[in-house]
Homo-oligomer: A and B are copies of this chain.
């Protein structure tokens, strides 16, 4: 994660802006040092605590997909940030010249070390999200899908060693040989790393950061989760945690034989996607006050390991 306050706000600005909402009056304003994309603030009002986001990357036309998705999932009981509507019944406003939204603040803390219990909880929640997403009817492709892989590979290729270049080219070719269209699809979070799940009192209090969501293979979401939550110190998928993840998911949305077959491919696709985005963040930096970029080598090594596993990966049984 990186510092996220690209734009500063004064309490008087926020007080005036809150006049458009039914949230009471401002009690406290504090910047949040998390997230790599936007400027985020804790806004405490006489009604409670909220999170205010100023969008620094996404454009105004791209935001309704995400905001209505969060509202839809929240209305289905998924503990995700719920956007607050203003007096005109709109989620999206403007503050400091940027698209702005205020959302509910969720309880709990993320874990840095995930055990089988955490993997089980996140598996059940992910399946609930996939099922709740079935009745969401706005459409947006996964913005970090195959087309983006190819564009990004082109940008970062000159910065790689020849061994890395070979790994990247081979993987793009391998993925291009495998069709995703037949695998069950739907709305996916697409970035459900440990730092985007808040635990409280032994259950999930919050699932956050939906700004990479899109429509793609549901199994891709599981692969992103497995690579982050279930990877051991040597880069291998820990069988106990991986099975805990899948066994909690399966009773809510049954995994199919086709998905079983696609699982090793999807784990590689998910590793590729995050290796590429980390390379991009390192070699094609944006302006702003970013202080930390995640290590690309971690996902290069996870991809190498998934390739070496040659189609073997822990499944339900």
Which residue, A46, A82, A88, A204, has most C-beta atoms of chain B within 10 A?
Answer: A46
Bound CA–CA A204/B47 (angstroms): 7
Do residues A47 and B77 form an inter-chain contact, with CB atoms below 8 A?
Answer: yes
Q: How distant is A190 from chain B, measured CB to nearest CB, in Å?
A: 18
* A179 CB, nearest partner CB in chain B, Å: 28
Q: Which listed residue, B21, B48, B77, B134, touches A84 by the CB 8 Å rule?
A: B77
Q: Which of B48, B71, B128, B134 is A203 in contact with, Cβ under 8 Å?
A: B48
- Bound-state CA distance A71–B125 (Å) is 22
Residues of B close to A47: CB separation below 8 A:
77, 79, 125, 128, 203-204
- Tell whether A186 is near chain B: CB-to-CB under 8 Å: no
Find out whether the CB atom of B203 lies under 8 angstroms from the CB atom of A22: no
Cβ A75 vs Cβ B82 within 8 A: yes
State how many copies of this chain the complex holds.
2
Cα separation A47 to B48 with both chains bound (whole Å): 21
Scan A261-279; emit 1 where CB is below 8 A from any B CB, else 0. 0000000000000000000
Q: Does A76 contact B (CB under 8 A)?
A: yes
Residues 80-107 (chain A) with a chain B CB within 8 angstroms: 82-89, 104
A281 to B23, CA, bound (A): 36
| Cβ distance A231 to chain B, nearest Cβ, rounded Å | 25
A85 touches B21 (CB 8 A): no
Closest to A132 in B: B22
A184 sits at the interface (CB 8 A): no
Question: Across the interface, which residues of B come within 8 angstroms of A75, CB to CB?
Answer: 71, 82-85
Report the bound CA distance from A75 to B134 in whole Å.
Answer: 21
Residue A129 at the B interface, CB < 8 A? yes
Residues of B within 8 A of A48 (CB): 79, 203
Q: Which residues of A in the span 13-42 have a Cβ within 8 Å of any Cβ on B?
A: 21-24
Chain A contacts with B in 26-67, Cβ cutoff 8 A: 46-48, 50
* Complex alpha-carbon distance, A140 and B124, angstroms: 40
The answer to whether residues A85 and B79 also contact, given A22-B131, A46-B124, A128-B23 and a CB cut-off of 8 A, is no
A135 at interface, CB cutoff 8 A:
yes
Q: How far is the CA of A23 from the CA of B128 in the complex (A)?
A: 7
Instruction: Mark A residues whose CB is within 8 Å of B.
Output: 21-24, 46-48, 50, 71, 74-79, 82-89, 104, 121, 124-125, 128-129, 131-132, 134-135, 203-204
19 contacts between A and B (CB under 8 A): A21-B76, A21-B77, A22-B76, A22-B131, A23-B77, A24-B125, A47-B77, A47-B128, A47-B204, A48-B203, A71-B75, A74-B82, A75-B82, A75-B84, A76-B84, A76-B89, A87-B131, A87-B135, A89-B135
